[in-house]
Chain A
Amino acid sequence: MRPLLEIISKGVGLSIQDGGRAGWRRFGVPVGGAMDRHSMAVANGLLGNREDAPVLELCRQGAKVLILQDTWLALAGADLGCALKPWRASHVRAGTLLDFSGRQAGLFAYLALPGGIQADQWFGSASADPRNGLGVVLEKGVRLLANQRAVSFSDDRIAGRIAIPDERRVFEGLVQLPLFRGPQFAAFSEVAQNTLVESEWTVSERSDRTGFRLEGRELEVPASIASEPVLPGSFQVTGSGQPIVTMVDGPTVGGYAKLAILPEAARDRLAQCVPGTQISFRWLD
């Protein structure tokens, strides 16, 4: 089979991601996968793929991808300034260079190939987690194939396919996210519980696929706890009084008290907040 695309430039971040790996957290293996699962699922859905099929996840700017065959592609998530429009399937000619040259809105874009990217699995997932030696490392010159065995559609079904308005996301404007109470909510002072939802928080530059740091008013920190499992989306408050929101590549257990946890859809939204974004929160219930 002939490859469908070639990596010309990695840019800030370019990796294969999918729905993540289930069943291995008890050994310390993070769930991993796409940072914004909603956008991954929409990109795959536009091509008739499984919603968790392997896609290319592109972060911020600088990635360049050369298309080697005429093909349908779908893009969803952040608008990174590529000529290909997000939230729709597009037919692309061989020789086209997709240049994700500039960030417009959002942090992570998802490029789906017909049938999904063909890639080896580690623990049942093709997701890249280089810190733990899982997944292929994409470098300049790497060529990727579409998983044509999985193709379950005909081209005429894709033609002109656009995500419905409910599925589209706009990563601009004020961000207010809902929160569930975390396992150690009651260990925090009432002042800390209220400060989290009454003040504004700024996404720190020191944020990555393991965690998003938030900067704002200092929260009073309760005693650390015996280490226990941590889910992505959890607000762990460290000694500095500032929350770190665990993300999908983050540690599976931790010893900091957890004040809150984002619903999964809100975690997808946080993942699209560029450093400097102002966020506020509200308690659910």
Chain B
Amino acid sequence: MDFHLQSYGERAVFIQKLSGRRQSCVLNALKVSPPHGFVEYVVGYSNVLVILDGVLSAKRFPEWLSAIPEVNQADLLPTRLLEIPVKYSGADLAAVAKMAQLSIDEVVAIHSGADYRVRMMGFAPGFPYLDGLDSRLHFERRASPRNHIVPGSVAIGGRHAGIYSVASPGGWHILGHSEHPLFQPEMAKGAAPDENAVFALAPGDRVKFVAIN
């Protein structure tokens, strides 16, 4: 397979312009037979960043990549579905309804009616960038970001839905609140914690929001 590669610093390589299927192939190969000097990978929107242990490993990386097998989507890990209860009472719910020229109930129905997929995670631990947001709810981030957003805030920004996983500043529009913990740092103790105990979600997972009172 041919890939669009871009070096990033002395020991990391971006694999750019990946379709969803090709991104899955790369991630599968990284898990099954990682390249020489592999340290870790980070999933981006349409790319994957591979971090290696030094300049030499980075130089050898393209050869490894050119030889990875094509994999059928069906052979890849099964996706999980997580249902997240949401109390729709967010500070920006009315403003979003006004921008979308919809009623609040319609915004809630649209947001909770979609089937989302975790496209990538970051900027903070456990924060999921969710694909699948209805285009009627695509809005630029707030002109002035908030300094403090509480964990559990269910929000939308640009073409993504998300859930704030730690207290942080942020510019997304807040629609509601979820009590479902996305990141539990106390479970991260030790040398090799269980990722499923620490994080509720991983890239590739499906998410549905369920409106509660």
Taking Cβ atoms with an 8 Å cutoff, the residues of A that contact B are 22-29, 120-124, 131-134, 180, 182-183, 226-229, 231, 233, 251-254, 261-264
Contact = CB atoms under 8 A, between A and B. Distances in A.
Contact of A28 (B45, B165, B189, B192): B165
Interface string B150-174: 0000000000000001111000000
Interface stretch (B66-74, B87-95, B116-124): B116-124
Contacts, number: 118
B9 A121 contact: no
24 contacts: A23-B40, A25-B122, A27-B195, A27-B198, A27-B199, A28-B122, A28-B127, A28-B183, A29-B125, A121-B190, A121-B191, A132-B125, A132-B185, A134-B185, A134-B188, A227-B122, A227-B129, A229-B42, A229-B43, A251-B124, A253-B42, A253-B120, A253-B123, A263-B9
Contact of B8 (A24, A28, A29, A261): A261
Given A27-B125, A132-B125, A228 B44 contact: yes
A253 B51 CA distance: 14
A231 B50 CA distance: 11
A254 B123 contact: yes
A253 B122 contact: yes
Closest 8 CB pairs of A and B: A253-B122, A251-B123, A133-B185, A228-B44, A229-B42, A229-B49, A252-B122, A226-B45
A247 to B, nearest CB: 14
Interface of B: 6-10, 12, 14, 39-47, 49, 51, 120-127, 129, 165-168, 183, 185-186, 188-193, 195, 198-199, 202-203
A227 B8 CA distance: 16
- Interface SS majority for chain A: loop
Given A27-B125, A131-B166, A123 B203 contact: no
B168 A131 contact: yes
Contacts of B6: 183
A26 B125 contact: no
Nearest to A184: B6
A251 to B, nearest CB: 3
Given A26-B41, A28-B122, A263-B10, 20 more contacts: A25-B51, A27-B122, A27-B195, A27-B202, A122-B188, A124-B190, A131-B168, A133-B186, A180-B7, A180-B10, A229-B42, A229-B49, A251-B122, A251-B124, A253-B42, A253-B120, A253-B121, A253-B123, A254-B123, A264-B9
A85 B166 CA distance: 40
A231 B191 contact: no
Nearest to A260: B9
